Structure 1
Amino acid sequence: MVEIRLKNSKSRRIEVLQPIEPGKVSMYVCGPTVYDRAHIGNARSAVVFDQLFRLLRHVYGEGNVTFVRNFTDVDDKINARAAEEGRKIADLTAETAQWYLDDTRALGVLDPTHMPRATEYIEQMVAFIEDLIEKDFAYARDGHALFRVRSFDDYGKLSGRSVDDMIAGARVEVAPYKEDPMDFVLWKPSADDIPGWDSPWGRGRPGWHIECSAMAHSILGETFDIHGGGADLLFPHHENEVAQSCAAGHGFANIWMHNEMLQVEGKKMSKSLGNFFTVRDLLDSGVPGEVIRFVMLSTHYGKPMDWTEKKRVEAEKTLRKWYAAAEPGDAVPEAVVAALADDLNTHQALAEMHKLDGAELGAALSVMGLWEGQVPEWAVSDGADLSAFAARLGTAREEAMQTKDFSTVDALKSALTDAGVEVRMSKAGVDLVPGPNFDPAKLENL
């Protein structure tokens, strides 16, 4: 069996995946808080861990991998958005959860084995908190239940911080119901106009961190193989998950994985900079889901990723070339599997695919989530002979270099561009790439 090696955020080392139950793998990944569309930063985590899911299924068999990705459907942001729009919270979360599924499926993301919603596990969360209080790792005060951070000696080991350093540099809430500023909320009171459930501490709702611990424990048991999420969750979310789960006596996750963040054209994504966009924004603008996924996979998950227009164009060009050369196949080349097994090195896997064609290329495209056995509609040129147009444009350019009259060249370029064809001219020649809005009908009379 293929040996899979993964970077463990907890040990900060590459480790061999050794499943707790031989031949079977369990994985939990923190999913979205559903109150709006997923932006492309959210999409990176979805694509990264989908790729790991696909690798695990390839190596261990589809029936031997259990993948859990939750929906957080109780949260202050959700409450605020529902109030702002005058909608029922349940209607908002149902709609936005479906948006998430629709948008990520368009990127080739498979549905996980389980997709639990936080509101379905309130009873388990209450029981979890009661156990922590009984063990003196948590306490109740003024309708709240809080975790005693200093009671857990290993707090900070996942993120590599000391409690004192955290207090000095962290944004911690100083509240009268806290014994210590670092203590974090497990349960909090709910006003009459927001969701709440009965508990030993009064009507309220869970804190964010307890949700994942309770759902992971309920579905995967006390110990499981892999826990994943974005690097922004390392602290405090994952640190708090470790503390409360281990304090309760659960071994929790053996390997922790975190994907790095995403930028746009070299800058942090921000609405104020005008470079913030959702997956749906890209899809609706004509960028195919396969192209978005390719760009995501072209950078190793452990490195910051930069979304650029140049990468989008190159990804589309490469995929068109591959789709033209691929045939359906099941035998994924060893070099591609080896790259993925080497800490999910998707960049290297894509590099190996440039050497392939036929059934080998088709099998590799499938395991990368880039092909379902037939060429996507957007990549079909509908019989347009773009090579003939490239030759005409090349000849026109050569003549124009002699006569200094570029009117014919400009007219051809304009017509091709209007038809949705990207025109690339260099010393090496003319390259015509059909874009997402390619309309071959506009070339019929050219």
Structure 2
Amino acid sequence: MTLRLTNTLTRRVEEFKPIETGKVSIYCCGVTVYDLCHLGHARSYIAWDVLRRYLRWSGYAVTFVQNYTDIDDKILNRASEEGTSMEEVSERNIDAFVADMGRLNILPADRMPRATRSLDAIRTLISELEAKGAAYSADGDVYFAVMKHAGYGKLSGRDLEQQQDNAAGRVASAEEARKQHPFDFALWKGAKPGEPSFSSPWGQGRPGWHIECSAMVREELGETIDIHLGGADLVFPHHENEIAQSEAATGKELAHYWLHNGMVNVGGQKMSKSLGNFTTIRALLDSGVSPMTLRLFTLQAHYRKPLDFTAEALEAAATGWKGLNVALGLTVGTTRSQSELPVPLQEARKRFAAAMDDDLNTSAALAVLFELAKPLRGLANRIERGDASASSELEQASSQQQLALLLELAAVVGLQHEPQETAGATGGLEDRAIEAQIEARRAAKAAKDFAAADQIRNDLKAQGIELIDKPGGITEWLRS
């Protein structure tokens, strides 16, 4: 089987064929650095991190570029609110982005260009579009003429004439009155009083949002790339406009494959600050949710589908992660693990690859991980209880090979062992609460209320906590 991906441009699942054999060029739309990253960013960048990891595991040399938008109205507004500068807001949030992505085990991009450091490329591209008649100046602004690009709307499926008819009768703004067509978009914005600005052939100003990515794609990866990534909210207008301006300038296809991830809902509603259900990655992780629990949670749904964030769903992911984490915490030998895999493990590896080849079906791929982890988790629990025979079983070649494969495949989806104190803080019972329940059970047994003691044991077991009674009235526990 070969990798197949859903291409937004063609609306089909297609076999992936790179431009250059053995190499893949990827551009991922990055963050506008005016605030901390939220759950939507986590969902998107985890999905694309898995794509990148899988391509590398499959033998491709991957060049992954992701930008920072550090010129934007939102950044300027935040700087004005704080009484700081655009640079200060951007740098603070770039540092926060790097830290948050690191906690989620998201690989850093090979290159991360910034709009402010790509101004020459941006100005050059605008000049080329103007020379080709695809752009025009209007009172210090420069606009892209959408009607000059025959393919406009091919990504989103939007019909310009129909949209223009729908907008008929609406009072145009001052900016729209300067445009030749209502859907023309700004490539360069003339300077406003008090705002940072940069020199250009059209006067002082700053680039529009869409032109930044087109310029950075070409500067970093060339005129045509293999894969362009982003969230579904970027299909229109951002990615549609990228295609139009890039292809109008070069006459070549911008990207062969366009991949878009689904949005995040919270309790069935779209995540929004206005609805009060907006959550940043940092707030969620700092509240006690482990990074790998959040990663596992996002991978349980297909990247193209909406992801509904609920406390119950997160708790279920936390429970699943605890068991997987126990197995990943075991130690693999350096020699036995390299021998040829037995047939059942070869088949497991093939099923994992088949799932990933099926448009990155991470849910099915995770099922293989849990299957591999189950007997290893049992060994880990027996070792925790002091069962000497379990340690011997773990040293056997078959166990070592199974563990090595589990670690290998877990790394493909970016899951890695977490220390117990991190993994345990996932929305389940905290250690102190477990100890309190054990003390209550001990008191019930002392009062000969064995029904109550059994109920406490059963309640804890239902929450993934196994109690181990030892001589001398000592009770130990472990997460199953």
TM score, norm. by length of structure 1: 0.85
Provide Cα deviations, 1:284-334, integer angstroms capped at 9, x if missing partner: 101111111111111001111101112211212212211222345789922
- Deviation of the 1:270 alpha carbon: 2.5
* More helix per residue: 2
CA contact (8 A) 2:297 2:314 kept: yes
Larger CA Rg, structure 1 vs 2:
2
CA contact (8 A) 2:189 2:206 kept: yes
Q: Find out whether 1:269 has 2:271 as its counterpart.
A: yes
2:42 partner letter: A
State the identity as a percent: 42
**Alpha-carbon separation, structure 1, partners of 2:476 and 2:420:** 23
Q: Which of residues 335, 340, 346 in structure 1 aligns to 2:351? A: 335
- Deviation of the 1:169 alpha carbon: 5.3
Q: What secondary structure sits across from 1:60 in the alignment? A: coil
Alignment partner, residue 114 of structure 1 = 111
**Alpha-carbon separation, structure 1, partners of 2:190 and 2:198:** 9
The 10-residue stretch of structure 1 (27-36 or 360-369) with the greater mean CA deviation from structure 2:
360-369
Q: What secondary structure sits across from 1:114 in the alignment? A: coil
After superposition, residues 358-397 of structure 1 pair within 5 angstroms as 358-371=403-416, 375=419, 377-379=421-423
CA RMSD of aligned residues (A): 3.2
1:316 partner letter: A
**Alpha-carbon separation, structure 2, partners of 1:444 and 1:221:** 60
2:352 partner letter: V
After superposition, residues 35-50 of structure 1 pair within 5 angstroms as 35-50=34-49
Q: Which of residues 272, 280, 283 in structure 1 aligns to 2:282? A: 280
After superposition, residues 29-178 of structure 1 pair within 5 angstroms as 29-61=28-60, 64-168=61-165, 175-178=176-179
Alignment partner, residue 437 of structure 1 = none
- Structure 2 residues without counterparts, runs of 5 or longer: 342-347, 374-402, 467-474
Q: Find out whether 1:224 has 2:221 as its counterpart.
A: no
**Alpha-carbon separation, structure 2, partners of 1:28 and 1:367:** 20
Alignment partner, residue 416 of structure 1 = none
CA contact (8 A) 2:265 2:271 kept: yes
TM score, norm. by length of structure 2: 0.79
Alignment partner, residue 11 of structure 2 = 12
Q: What secondary structure sits across from 1:66 in the alignment? A: strand
**Alpha-carbon separation, structure 2, partners of 1:430 and 1:81:** 47
- Deviation of the 1:396 alpha carbon: 6.6
After superposition, residues 280-359 of structure 1 pair within 5 angstroms as 280-326=282-328, 327=330, 328=332, 333-357=349-373, 358-359=403-404
2:300 partner letter: S
Q: What secondary structure sits across from 2:26 in the alignment? A: strand
Q: What secondary structure sits across from 2:199 in the alignment? A: coil
- Deviation of the 1:257 alpha carbon: 0.5
Provide Cα deviations, 1:157-194, integer angstroms capped at 9, x if missing partner: 11011102333557986523211111111001112422
CA contact (8 A) 1:317 1:433 kept: no
The 3 A distance-change label for structure 1 pair 424 and 20 is farther
Q: What secondary structure sits across from 1:175 in the alignment? A: helix
